[in-house]
């Protein structure tokens, strides 16, 4: 399951450089996560790095992008060119 950024985002910029998959970018008003690139940090870290650093806790799981741990790992392999 990818994560999503809610409209509580205060555009503090700290999450973007923490993402190992470059899934986070500045959107029109707030930061956004590309669900095709977010692996919940599977393959890189034990915990989602963006959630760890967000000062306002506005990065929940995205219920519209459900994936198993195995699917997330397969996505990581494809993104990182290891598949």
Cα 33 to its chain centre, rounded Å, is 6
33's tokens: 């996560």
Q: How far apart are CA 24 and CA 38, in angstroms?
A: 8
Of 39, 67, 72, 75, the one binding ligand SF4 by CB under 6 A = 39
x/- mask, ligand SF4, residues 43-62, rule CB under 6 A, reads: -----xxx--xx-x-xx---
Between 50 and 67, CB nearer to ligand SF4: 50
CB of 50 to ligand SF4, least distance (A): 3
Contact 67, 75 (CB under 8 A): yes
Find the binder of ligand SF4 among 24, 67, 72, 75 (CB under 6 A): 24
Q: How many residues bind ligand SF4 (CB under 6 A)?
A: 28
- Residue 31's H or E segment, with its range, is strand 31-33
């Amino acid at each position: 399951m990818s994560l999503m950024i809610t409209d509580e985002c205060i555009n503090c910029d700290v999450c973007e450089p923490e993402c190992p998959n470059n899934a986070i970018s500045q959107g029109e008003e707030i930061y956004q996560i590309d669900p095709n690139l977010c692996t919940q940090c599977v393959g890189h870290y034990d915990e989602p790095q963006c959630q760890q650093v967000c000062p306002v806790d506005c990065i929940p799981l995205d219920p519209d992008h459900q994936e198993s741990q195995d699917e997330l790992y397969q996505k990581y392999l494809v993104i990182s060119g290891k598949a």
